[in-house]
Structure 1
Amino acid sequence: MGTYIKGINGRFTGKVGSTVGSQCKGISVMKSLPDFSNHKASKKQLAHRAKFRLATRFLQPLYPVIQLGYKNQDSLKSPQNAAMSELMKYTIEGEYPDYKVNLNNLVLAVGSLKGTNRPSVEANGEEVVFTWRYNASSDEMFKDNGVILVAIAEGYYPEYSICNNVRSEGTASMYLPDAPPGTVVHCYIAFAAMDDTNRVSNSVHAGTVIIPEEG
């Protein structure tokens, strides 16, 4: 793949022969079409494809979180691609074909904004309650940061809350995933600046809760 400022006839998009032109974050990009082969895929290729499919399926329902959490990453990558790269390199574990996402290592936001230490979570009926440390003297300039909350139960659709609360509240709650009682839920927290900088903090694994029995 290559970038260019101006072609012979200006910028182009679409396919011309074996070359494809496109725009990525305002940058003109050219790449060649892949060569097609009748050769059977190698085990390494099959393993990569399986890992890629798992990553795609896992991130799809978290798209709004990823769009904010990875917005300021690599300028040549979309937030989705940046999150995909992180997931495939550091979070998906196992040997082909038995891959799984290690939810303890999951990163949903990456940035320079101040994060939080030792957050805690607990289940309360159909909700999970997050609590984090807020120091009025040292955190004053961050008090209006929005809070990103995520709850993930393996095999079930995740729940999330994006900037419905602010850092200075020190606590917030959201619905648990729709999963059976006894299911383990992994919880994550990050902060986002409520201005045009789009700054976020690194996400933190806040702990796990168990979905309680009904009634």
Structure 2
Amino acid sequence: MAVFKNGPNGSFSGKVGSVVGYKWKGLDVIRGLPRKSQKPRSEARLANEQAMKLIMGALKSLKIFIRTGFRQAAEPLNMTAFNLALSINKKQAIKGEYPNLEIDWTKFMVSRGPLPGLEEATATWTDTGLHICWQDNTGTDQAYGTDNLSILVYVHERDIWIPFLNETTRDAGECSLPAPEKWKGTEVEVFLSFISFGSELVSDSTHVHVSSVGA
């Protein structure tokens, strides 16, 4: 991709020959059109494509949350929040060998930022739902008791994400999430992120794995 300002032919939009011009974040940019290759795809390329598909599949339902969760980290890099989330998770949250790649949920992230995150977080199933506890670290750096806690729960059995946005605050130290019978007690991945008042700052997300009841 090339960026130009008042070049010899000025800015343009659309396809011209083998390049296409368009606006991106207020900049005039051009890029070449992709060329079809006749070479067979290497295993490394196939592994890269599988990793991309896995992460895209995990993030596609979280686009609205990702816009806030990665916005602050993405802005100085001139990247979109979604593209940064995709890049980070593709690099660090894939495990295994092709063609048996899978997501490493312990390294998967739904937010990145300088706000202090959760400490000593735990999650367990109860008779009514999912109970989550953490240590109140109000006063640490920029941590305030009024920071909002948002929670994303990935339900393996149903392959769905359940959002609990602004569920409670940092100083609460615990919360209980209701769970319908159709996924209560099953294996889930829990991701927790603090967002400051006004959504100006976010924390790195914290992951907690919860096994299915009786497993």
- Quick one: distance in 1 between partners of 2:28 and 2:47? 32
Which among 180, 184, 189 is matched to residue 187 of structure 2?
184
Aligned counterparts, 1:20-99, within 5 A: 20-74=20-74, 75-99=77-101
Q: How many residue pairs are counted as aligned between the two chains?
A: 212
- SS, match of residue 30 in structure 1: strand
Question: Against the structure 1 CA distance between its residues 86 and 109, is the aligned structure 2 distance closer, same or farther, given a 3 Å change threshold?
Answer: same
Cα deviations by residue, 1:99-145 (Å, 9 ceiling, x for unpaired): 10011121111110121210121223453222222256668961221
8 Å CA contact 2:116–2:140 kept in 1: the answer is: no
- SS, match of residue 142 in structure 1: coil
- Quick one: distance in 1 between partners of 2:154 and 2:102? 14
User: CA offset at residue 174 of structure 1?
Assistant: 3.0
Alignment TM-score, normalising by the size of structure 2: 0.84
Question: Against the structure 1 CA distance between its residues 44 and 178, is the aligned structure 2 distance closer, same or farther, given a 3 Å change threshold?
Answer: farther
Aligned counterparts, 1:156-195, within 5 A: 156-176=159-179, 183-195=186-198
User: CA offset at residue 154 of structure 1?
Assistant: 3.0
- Quick one: distance in 2 between partners of 1:196 and 1:103? 25
- Quick one: distance in 2 between partners of 1:65 and 1:41? 34
Aligned residues: CA RMSD: 2.7
The farther-off stretch of 29-38 and 135-144 is 135-144
8 Å CA contact 1:21–1:30 kept in 2: the answer is: yes
Who is 1:17 aligned against?
17
Where do 5+ consecutive residues of structure 1 fail to align? none
Question: Against the structure 1 CA distance between its residues 166 and 10, is the aligned structure 2 distance closer, same or farther, given a 3 Å change threshold?
Answer: farther
Where do 5+ consecutive residues of structure 2 fail to align? none
Alignment TM-score, normalising by the size of structure 1: 0.84
Who is 1:4 aligned against?
4
Who is 1:124 aligned against?
126
- Quick one: distance in 2 between partners of 1:174 and 1:127? 6
- Quick one: distance in 1 between partners of 2:138 and 2:188? 30
- SS, match of residue 159 in structure 1: strand
Cα deviations by residue, 1:170-200 (Å, 9 ceiling, x for unpaired): 2233344886566321212110122263x10
Question: Against the structure 1 CA distance between its residues 136 and 102, is the aligned structure 2 distance closer, same or farther, given a 3 Å change threshold?
Answer: closer
Which amino acid letter does the alignment assign opposite residue 81 of structure 1? N
- SS, match of residue 165 in structure 2: strand
Who is 2:210 aligned against?
208
User: CA offset at residue 163 of structure 1?
Assistant: 1.8
8 Å CA contact 2:115–2:142 kept in 1: the answer is: no
User: CA offset at residue 202 of structure 1?
Assistant: 0.8
8 Å CA contact 1:55–1:87 kept in 2: the answer is: yes
8 Å CA contact 2:115–2:143 kept in 1: the answer is: no
Give aligned-pair identity as a percent: 25
